[in-house]
Amino acid sequence: MTVLVAVALTVVALAGTAVVLADAPERQAVTLAVFGVTLVVLFVVLQAPDVALSELGIGTAIVPLMVMLTIRTMWKDRQQRERREDRRSEGDA
């Protein structure tokens, strides 16, 4: 059992490092979901199924989804702002 915990902790540490090293926010959201799955495995190995289920629902699904929706909203707002600025600059010319 100790070896299994050590392996699970190592995988969690590697997945956490991958989240930190991801440069684009979209990639961070996806790697965050993978990190959540590794935490679920760790919690199951540590015999904490209630925590594993919570992590599966929140950390693996909802949080990355909210991050992706926020990124999409910011991207749309930026595009709309650029279009307005383009129309203003065309009107001034």
Residue reference for tokens 């990639």: 27
List the Cα angle 64/67/71 in 5-degree steps. 140
Structure tokens that stand for 64 in this block: 């990355």
- Residue 93 is predicted with a pLDDT of 59
- Residue 92 is predicted with a pLDDT of 66
- Residue 37 is predicted with a pLDDT of 95
**Residue at 24: amino acid letter:** A
Domain segments of the chain as ranges: 2-92
Judge if pTM exceeds 0.75: yes
Per-residue pLDDT of the chain (93 residues; tens, 9 = 90+): 799 999 999 999 999 999 999 999 889 999 999 999 999 999 999 999 999 999 999 988 999 999 999 999 999 999 999 888 888 887 765
